[in-house]
Amino acid sequence: MSDTEIGSQSDTVQPEGQQNDVELKVDGLVKRFGGITAVDSASFEVESGSMTGLIGPNGAGKSTTFHCITGIHRPDGGSVRFQGNDITGIRPYQCADYGLVRTFQIAREMANMTVLENLMLPAKQQSGEQLWRSVMPFARRDVIEEERELLERVWDILEFFEIEHIAEEKAGNLSGGQRKLLEMARALMIEPEMLLLDEPFAGVNPTLEHKLLDHIHELREEGYTFLIVEHDMDLIMENCERVIVMHQGSVLAEGNPETITSNEQVIEAYLGGDV
Ligand SMILES: Nc1ncnc2c1ncn2[C@@H]1O[C@H](COP(=O)(O)OP(=O)(O)O)[C@@H](O)[C@H]1O
Ligand SMILES: [Mg+2]
214-268 pLDDT tens trace: 999 999 999 999 999 998 888 999 999 999 999 999 999 999 999 999 999 998 8
Q: Whose CA is nearest to atom 3 of ligand 1?
A: 33
C-alpha distances (whole Å) from 173 to each of 169, 178, 196 are 7, 9, 25
- Regarding the beta carbon of 58 and ligand 1, being less than 6 Å apart is answered yes
pLDDT at residue 255, rounded to an integer: 96
Going from the Cα of 38 to the center of ligand 1, the distance in angstroms, rounded, reads: 6
Give the number of the atom of ligand 1 that is nearest the alpha carbon of residue 198.
Answer: 21
Q: Is 34 helix (H, G, I), strand (E, B) or coil?
A: coil
Give the number of the atom of ligand 1 that is nearest the alpha carbon of residue 58.
Answer: 23
The mean pLDDT value for 31-41 works out to 97
Going from the Cα of 60 to the center of ligand 1, the distance in angstroms, rounded, reads: 8
Q: What is the pLDDT of residues 169-199, one digit of tens each?
A: 999 999 888 888 999 999 999 889 999 999 9
Residue 137 has pLDDT above 50, yes or no: yes
- Cα three-residue angle 93-94-96, rounded to 5 degrees: 75
> What does residue 263 show for φ and ψ, rounded to 5 degrees?
-80, 120
Identify whether the C-beta of residue 50 lies closer than 8 Å to the C-beta of residue 242. yes
**Domains in the chain: boundaries:** 20-109+190-275, 112-173
- Regarding the beta carbon of 33 and ligand 1, being less than 6 Å apart is answered yes
Identify whether the C-beta of residue 61 lies closer than 8 Å to the C-beta of residue 246. yes
C-alpha distances (whole Å) from 254 to each of 46, 79, 220, 257 are 10, 18, 20, 9
Best residue among 36, 72, 250 to mutate for probing ligand 1, ranked by most atoms within 8 Å of CB? 36
Q: Whose CA is nearest to atom 1 of ligand 1?
A: 33
In whole angstroms, give the CA distance from residue 223 to residue 19.
17
- Regarding the beta carbon of 57 and ligand 1, being less than 6 Å apart is answered no
- Regarding the beta carbon of 207 and ligand 1, being less than 6 Å apart is answered no
CATH class of 20-109+190-275: alpha beta
Mean of pLDDT over the chain = 86
Q: What is the pLDDT of residues 104-129, one digit of tens each?
A: 777 777 899 999 999 998 776 665 55
- Regarding the beta carbon of 59 and ligand 1, being less than 6 Å apart is answered yes
Ligand nearest to the CA of 273: 1
In whole angstroms, give the CA distance from residue 69 to residue 55.
16
